[in-house]
Amino acid sequence: MNNTEFYDRLGVSKNASPDEIKKAYRKLSKKYHPDINKDAGAEDKYKEVQEAYETLSDPQKRASYDQFGAAGANGGFGGGGFGGFDGAGFGGFEDIFSSFFGGGTAQRNPNAPRQGDDLQYRVNLKFEEAIFGAEKEVSYNREATCRTCTGSGAKPGTSPVTCGRCHGSGVINVDTQTPLGTMRRQMTCDVCHGRGKQIKDPCTTCRGTGHEKQAHTVTVKVPAGVETGQRIRLAGQGEAGFNGGSYGDLYVVVQVEASDKFEREGTTILYKLDLNFVQAALGDTVHVPTVHGDVDMVIPEGTQTGKTFRLKGKGAPSIRGGAMGDQYVTVNVVTPTGLNDRQKAALKDFAAAGNINVHPQKKGFFDKVKDAFDEL
């Protein structure tokens, strides 16, 4: 709120004395008087100076202006019939708004429909269910509209009556004497607690609240591709509203169980494939599990630990639709243990048959594994 402009118009400070204001006004009204000054805009200037002086020369109007700006000094907010500055005095900004808007923020219309509370429910999904989607039945207790009174809170055959104290407004006026005069405040009605209605004969099921706990079951369609932490909103499956307001919503929060075979990062599924060193050295065709069923995968000869293969389209779908992700298969060559004598002899023969070509690894093993993933 601009409450310095009038001072600016007169070219005085906010602390100017009444005398200074008067002097400034005289000087400026001479300067801009339409009879004297024929410049374009002089007349407007003159009017602005008049307006500013009218307010600042009156101690009460000046005080209002200092506190509330031009709207205050003119005695109304938007012309809505507010007259507090002329008469009984005023307590402060809050009081002005209270009398103006019927109670300000704390006291909205008590009879307005209000939506019920939202609820949250955690649903556990198997690894595969999250990938392919699932239908889950969830059961929970919620505050529902009372079936006995259909939400009115009054015993069947009776109805709530308008509160006799506040006449249905939910608020009452309280007058307080202050040095400035009578100050009127609005407070929440102490009889109906702001509801505006009184129930003389409460419903025995809900004790007048209009709500009762009820077991409730809904089927949740979990979309394919969900991940832990994602929420599915089911409109109207939360708790009952007030004053005929709609039900709140249910948020189903997904928790996906880990798989003992796979790991998942978004639409990508990771799988670790153990190979024995003969398969790795000579190559092989192996069955690799995927969530879409086993696939045959060709392992080329000389495959090293850490090598990663891609199985296109064998991952998880995006929850937003589109193509299926991929599965990445990372090889882990397992050194055999517990060899029998024949195997040991064969390996000795193998070693004697020629140089075993071990490429010196420039990078450490872990770097290579990391690189393989970085390429993905």
Q: Which residues in this chain contact Zn ion in the complex, by CB under 5 A? A: 146, 148-149, 163, 165-166, 189, 191-192, 203, 205-206
CB atoms within 10 A of CB 290: 19
Count how many residues are written for the chain: 376
Closest contact distance (angstroms) between CB of 49 and Zn ion is 51
Smaller CB distance to Zn ion: residue 12 or 166? 166
Please report how close the Cβ of residue 252 comes to Zn ion at its closest, in angstroms.
Answer: 29
Token pair listed for 333: 């060559």
Residues 6+ apart with CB under 8 A from 69: 1, 2, 3
Determine the distance from the C-alpha atom of residue 283 to the mean position of all C-alpha atoms in its chain, rounded to a whole number. Answer: 54
CB-wise, 145 or 305, nearer to Zn ion?
145
Min separation Cβ 142 and Zn ion, Å? 15
Helix/strand number for the chain, H first, E second: 10, 15
Measured distance between the N- and C-terminal CA atoms of the chain, rounded to whole angstroms: 59
Tell me whether residue 84 or residue 194 sits nearer to Zn ion (CB atom): 194
What is the spatial distance between Cα 79 and Cα 17, in angstroms, rounded to a whole number? 30
Q: Which is nearer to Zn ion, 74 or 188 (CB)?
A: 188
Q: Where are the alpha helices (DSSP H) in the chain?
A: 5-10, 18-32, 42-56, 59-68, 70-73, 93-101, 127-132, 277-282, 341-352, 365-375
Helix axes 59-68, 93-101, angle to 10 degrees: 80
CB of 100 to Zn ion, least distance (A): 21
Matching residue, tokens 């929850």: 319
Q: Is the dihedral of CA 135, 141, 147, 152 positive or negative?
A: negative
Identify which of residues 148 and 243 has a Cβ nearer to Zn ion in the complex: 148
CB of 248 to Zn ion, least distance (A): 19
- In three-state secondary structure terms, 350 is helix
- Beta strands 268-276 and 262-265, pairing class: antiparallel
CB of 249 closer than 8 Å to CB of 160: no
Least distance to Zn ion from the beta carbon of 118, Å? Answer: 23
Q: Nearer Cβ to Zn ion, position 57 or 205?
A: 205
User: Given the complex with Zn ion, which of 12 and 189 has the nearer CB atom?
Assistant: 189
Residue 40 φ/ψ, nearest 5 degrees? -65, 135
Residue 17 in tokens: 């004395």
If the CB atoms of residues 192 and 275 are measured against Zn ion, the closer one turns out to be 192
Residue 371 near residue 304, CB atoms below 8 Å = no
Tell me whether residue 205 or residue 246 sits nearer to Zn ion (CB atom).
205
CB of residue 184 to Zn ion, shortest distance in Å: 17
Q: Which of 109, 76, 97 is nearest to 185 (CA)?
A: 97
Q: How far is the CB of 209 from Zn ion (least distance, A)?
A: 7
CB of 199 vs Zn ion, minimal distance in Å:
10
Question: Is residue 327 within a helix (H) or strand (E), and if so which, with residue range?
Answer: strand 327-334
* Residue 106 CB, nearest approach to Zn ion (Å): 15
Nearer to Zn ion (CB atom), residue 214 or residue 230:
214
